[in-house]
Structure 1
Amino acid sequence: MTPRIFYRILSIAEAVTWTLLIAGMIMKYVFHVGDWPVKVGGFAHGLVFIAYVTTAVIVGLNQRWHPMQIVGAAATAFVPYLTIPFDHRLEKRNMLDGGWRTTASDHPGDRHWIDVTLRWMLNRPVLLGVVFVVFVGGIMATMLFIGPPGGRSA
């Protein structure tokens, strides 16, 4: 899977889960069906939100985006459906071109510890996948423990 495909899957998934969350809120507040649609949509959206931000960081580092570009990519997840036009913008600027950087090059950044660590992880895709899932799951579990935005209702 290329960086482009990995990023695109998560940017589309982020938009889909926004739809689930918005539909859940409509079902709760307009049709008065209870809290469950928001809980389901909110859980899915939260999980994919964390995965998308993590993916933006990994792909951004791999593609050598400017740090503000990585922050910008992560910030698009806060606005419904903004990940899709942002993805198209990256595509137009060829910022998703190329494969995973699994070998060092002459680029001076390739000697930085972040790039060395990224390359090491990219050369161990199963371990990277496990770390990705554990990281996203750990953040999600922490957020569930803390509680939903606005606090828990009685």
Structure 2
Amino acid sequence: MTPRLLFRSVAIAEAITWALLIAGMLMKYVLEAGEIGVQIGGFVHGLVFIAFGMTALLVGVNQHWNFRLTAIAMVAAIVPFGTIPLDRRFEKNGLLNGEWRQTRTADPRDHTRVSALLRWMLARPVLLACIMGIALVSIMATLLSIGPPGSIS
């Protein structure tokens, strides 16, 4: 899986979960059908929202995006369906081109500790997937322990 395919897949998944959350909110507030739609849609959206942020960070490091561009990518999921136009814009500007940077090149950006760590992790895809999965679960568990958005008084 290329960086482009991973980014696009999670961007589309994030947009789909926005639709699920909005449908759940319509069920709750318009149809007065209870909270189950918001609970399920919100949970799934929360997971994929966090996964998109993590994916944007991983791909941003791989693609040598600057801090501003990586932050824009990570924050794009806040806007409903915002990941789709972002993906298209990045594609148009060539920001998703190329493979995973598994070897060091002459590019000075490949000589940083972050790039070395990325290469080390890319050489161990199962470990990388486990670390990302544990991080995702840990972040989600922390947020769930705090409570849903708007519940902090």
TM, length-normalised to structure 2: 0.97
Q: Compute the RMSD of aligned alpha carbons.
A: 0.9
2:2 aligns to what?
Answer: 2
Alignment-mate amino acid for residue 38 of structure 1: V
Give yes or no for the alignment of 1:40 onto 2:40.
Answer: yes
Instruction: Please list the CA deviations of residues 45-85 of structure 1 after superposition, one character each: whole Å capped at 9, or x if unmatched.
Output: 00000000000000011001111000011111000011001
Looking at structure 2, the residues matched to 129 and 62 of structure 1 have their Cα atoms a distance apart, in angstroms, of 16
Aligned positions of 1:84-123 closer than 5 A: 84-123=84-123
Q: Hey, which bits of structure 1, 4+ residues long, moved more than 2 A?
A: none
TM-fit CA distance, 1:112 = 1.2
TM-fit CA distance, 1:151 = 1.4
Looking at structure 2, the residues matched to 25 and 75 of structure 1 have their Cα atoms a distance apart, in angstroms, of 22
Looking at structure 2, the residues matched to 91 and 109 of structure 1 have their Cα atoms a distance apart, in angstroms, of 21
2:20 aligns to what?
Answer: 20
**Unmatched segments (≥5 aa) in structure 1:** none
Looking at structure 2, the residues matched to 147 and 58 of structure 1 have their Cα atoms a distance apart, in angstroms, of 27
TM-fit CA distance, 1:107 = 1.4
1:150 aligns to what?
Answer: 150
**Unmatched segments (≥5 aa) in structure 2:** none
Give yes or no for the alignment of 1:82 onto 2:82.
Answer: yes
Aligned residue-pair number: 152
Give yes or no for the alignment of 1:29 onto 2:29.
Answer: yes
Percent identity of paired positions between Structure 1 and Structure 2: 51
Looking at structure 2, the residues matched to 136 and 94 of structure 1 have their Cα atoms a distance apart, in angstroms, of 28
Looking at structure 1, the residues matched to 111 and 90 of structure 2 have their Cα atoms a distance apart, in angstroms, of 26
Alignment-mate amino acid for residue 15 of structure 1: A
